[in-house]
Structure 1
Amino acid sequence: MLTPTQLSVIQQTIPVLQDHGEDLTRYFYQRMFRHNPEVRGFFNPAHQQSGQQQRALAGAICAYAQHINDPSALTGAVELIAQKHVSLGIQPEHYPIVGENLLASIREVLGLAETDPILDAWAAAYGALADLFIQRETAIYRQQREHAGWNGFRNFVVSHREAASDNIVSLYLKPGDGKPLPAHKAGQYVTLRVALPGGETIMRNYSLSNEPGAACYRISVKREGGEGTPAGICSHHLHERLQAGDKVELSPPCGDFTLAASSTRPLVLIAGGVGITPLLSMLHEALAASPGRPVWLIQGALNGRVHPFADEVNALQRRHPGLRVHVRYSEPLPEDRLKAVHDGEGLIDEALLDELVGGEKAEYYFCGPTPMLRHLCQLLASRGVPSEDVHYEFFGPAESLAA
């Protein structure tokens, strides 16, 4: 419990955090990796290089300071981060490492004495936040043991692989021990841990793209960057080297981007590029659970060559005539226009939602690039869609969608 004085000090630091938050978090990561290199493997180097991780942490620290009197306002953010921590295997003993480096970074970046009240206040604030995360993560680990039957990483084998588009490959993963898999919740992800040829072991999160209850877990991976670049080191390995029969490790399914239980209200799924992966699993679940439920899938892609899962979605539409699908290309190729394989061009806009959904009181789930998420949040807000009916998933560290 923070004292009134400590709460006041935290609130007084908000302007400094707003002005210098990214400088602080950039220094923090550099310091932590230098002093505690054992934690480096928990972080995606591409997100470090792009600055996405630093921006996300800076935003989270500011949000915590702004809501220090009522942390319950951050329940959604805490849940998202706790799920990600569990997927990577974060344990209570990792929190002192982060706390020590964060407080040292505050002192060194701001030039504070070790006895400065700011450090005392932030030490108390970090301790309270760490306790909150540890309690929630302990509960998630317990739930995993009860439902999935394991914690940490379990051996899996690549059953087979297939192309979902020119730039996305699907990998079907079955348990190495041959035991049945628990059904995941549509929209969840797993953490894949794989050894690279040079001996380095890396971890990445991938959404499960197939229907819950299948005999295998399916992940569908977009090729990112090129060989040897931080952005593409894992995706290149999965595309070029991982073959049927190869072994990997998976953590149990995690994530809270899941369909509302037992809802029969109209459902609108909006996907951009590889953002289709969690939504495709949701589509399978929704159609199986409520065959009469009105469902729209709006899928965006650059063009037909990188339009993933076209055949699978077409097959679902043939089996479920009530499923309405709209495909939109932002940069169609000449052959796309000749084949007429898409329904429109450009961005998803007000006119399209008016045409497809009209005034229906629907639930919206969407996933894709951050600019698309920001655009859709603003568009749905302007249409008066309640925030509780708007659900979206980030790939990578969550950042603010404020304009």
Structure 2
Amino acid sequence: MLSAPSAATVRATLPVVGAAIGQITERFYARLFADRPELLRDLFNRGNQAAGTQKQALAGSVAAFAAHLLDHPDQRPDALLGRVAHKHASLGVAPEQYALVHEHLFAAIAEVLGEAVTPEVAAAWDEVYWLMANALIAVEKRLYQERGGAGTREWRVEERVEETADVATFRLRPVDGGPVAGFRAGQYVSVRVTLPDGARQTRQYSLSGAPDERVRQFSVKRVHGGATPDGEVSNRLHARVRPGDVLELSEPYGDLVLDAGTDTPLLLASAGIGVTPMIAMLADLAAGGHRGPVTVVHGDRSPADHALRADHESYAGKLPDASVHFFYERDAGPGHRTGLVDLDGVGVRPGTRAYLCGPLPFMRAVRTRLIGEGVAPADIHYEVFGPDLWLAQAAPVR
């Protein structure tokens, strides 16, 4: 709980801090990487840093946390904390790193806001930071304990499948031959790759196999940069990794997981490579004997671009009450619809719990439509690949 004096100060200064938070986070990262360049080389996503998306996500999470403390002083924003903590745990973030972040973040605040940062203002925002940091440390500690500790494990690629021209699936087993823990459908692993310049970059990929399999399966879309550089890790995996090669993987993490009774109506909506967690969810539903209606919606450029399409159809076909709706921008063919995803004619059952994964515009449009159809906002769950810019763009500035 934020103390009363600090709450008053944060409420009064949130508009100023919120308006400058982009500058603050930019200065923060500049200071942090000047002091600890190995963090950019071996921990932070260099692509997201170059594009500025990580700065936006950090700004959004801090602003959202502060606003929540003011609006709900007796409640912890568990959804926000859980999402961030799972990502941190997959990267192996340690408690002592929060002190390092604090040092450079507050120095950046002082540099950007200057004399506006009085001792009272600094103390109030210091309280906000440590409320958030200590809550994350506690959640991450629990996650590490559940998974037997932080860190990665070596896994050997047993099979590589070319799903489409730009998507490859990798199936791996642990090098040490030890047991493979299950995971919850919808979760991801961090994959660490050594790049030509020696950097050890990490990316998260949703597990696209059945949760009870003894292999880890994830599918990677090759990122073509266009106006920005191509994806470093995705292109490395596509160009270099073959059966017999060894990769470092974290344990599974992620808070977009199936949580519904066997009779609950479900809607699984995806677009593009957002299909990957949906495959694991459908596999889990089929194996668990889900009896309720399941509506499967997917949008892609064409059937040829639809990764894991056969699995998508096969797992849905094993459910007793499933409907499948595929939308393609071109070459849709019989039985499918041409154009972007449109829920007209799809039908949304009362009491539906929805899971979304894909580009932000797609998820915003589907979420808006679902709420209009009477689906409770609390029953709409989503996964963002990369920094959570949905949260960043929704963070209030008062």
The TM-score, its normalising length taken from structure 2, stands at: 0.92
Distance 1:359 1:134 in 2: 39
The answer for the alignment partner of 1:156 in structure 2 is 155
The answer for the alignment partner of 1:388 in structure 2 is 378
Percent identity at matched positions?
36
1:119 matched to 2:122:
yes
- Once the two structures are TM-superposed, the CA of residue 244 in structure 1 deviates from its matched residue by 0.4
Judge which range, 20-29 or 90-99, deviates more.
Answer: 20-29
Judge which range, 261-270 or 242-251, deviates more.
Answer: 261-270
Query: Does the residue aligned with 2:163 lie in a helix, a strand or coil?
Result: strand
- Once the two structures are TM-superposed, the CA of residue 88 in structure 1 deviates from its matched residue by 0.3
The answer for the alignment partner of 1:279 in structure 2 is 278
The answer for the alignment partner of 2:178 in structure 1 is 179
- Once the two structures are TM-superposed, the CA of residue 398 in structure 1 deviates from its matched residue by 1.1
Checking the alignment, whether the CA contact within 8 Å between 1:287 and 1:293 is kept in structure 2 is no
1:20 matched to 2:20:
yes
Q: Are the structure 2 counterparts of residues 265 and 379 from structure 1 closer, same or farther at C-alpha, using a change threshold of 3 Å?
A: same
- Once the two structures are TM-superposed, the CA of residue 348 in structure 1 deviates from its matched residue by 2.3
Distance 1:113 1:321 in 2: 62
CA deviations 1:209-245 (Å, max 9, x no partner) are 0111112110100000269x64411000101100100
Unaligned runs of 5+ in 1: none
Query: Does the residue aligned with 1:262 lie in a helix, a strand or coil?
Result: coil
1:99 matched to 2:92:
no
Checking the alignment, whether the CA contact within 8 Å between 2:286 and 2:318 is kept in structure 1 is no
Checking the alignment, whether the CA contact within 8 Å between 2:161 and 2:169 is kept in structure 1 is yes
Distance 1:217 1:356 in 2: 33
Query: Does the residue aligned with 2:268 lie in a helix, a strand or coil?
Result: strand
Distance 1:32 1:225 in 2: 29
Distance 2:94 2:74 in 1: 22
Distance 2:314 2:219 in 1: 18
1:200 matched to 2:190:
no
Distance 2:348 2:380 in 1: 16
1:212 matched to 2:211:
yes
Distance 1:166 1:253 in 2: 27
- Once the two structures are TM-superposed, the CA of residue 301 in structure 1 deviates from its matched residue by 0.3
The answer for the alignment partner of 2:91 in structure 1 is 88
Q: Are the structure 2 counterparts of residues 342 and 56 from structure 1 closer, same or farther at C-alpha, using a change threshold of 3 Å?
A: farther
CA deviations 1:362-398 (Å, max 9, x no partner) are 2111100011111112111122211222111111111
Distance 2:185 2:206 in 1: 9
- Once the two structures are TM-superposed, the CA of residue 163 in structure 1 deviates from its matched residue by 1.4
Residue 365 of structure 1, aligned match among 344, 355, 358? 355
Residue 139 of structure 2, aligned match among 126, 133, 136? 136
Structure number with greater CO (CA < 8 Å, separation at least 6) is: 2
- Once the two structures are TM-superposed, the CA of residue 113 in structure 1 deviates from its matched residue by 7.6
CA deviations 1:125-175 (Å, max 9, x no partner) are 212221111111111111112xxxx53111110111001222110000110
Distance 2:165 2:384 in 1: 23
Matches within 5 A, 1:1-400: 2-40=2-40, 41-69=42-70, 70=73, 72-112=75-115, 116-145=119-148, 151-225=150-224, 230-320=229-319, 322-329=321-328, 331-332=329-330, 336-337=331-332, 340=333, 343-351=336-344, 355-400=345-390
The TM-score, its normalising length taken from structure 1, stands at: 0.91
Count of matched residue pairs:
390
CA deviations 1:257-301 (Å, max 9, x no partner) are 100153421111111000000111001101111243322211110
CA deviations 1:47-91 (Å, max 9, x no partner) are 222222111111112112212242735210001001111100001
Unaligned runs of 5+ in 2: none
Judge which range, 115-124 or 163-172, deviates more.
Answer: 115-124
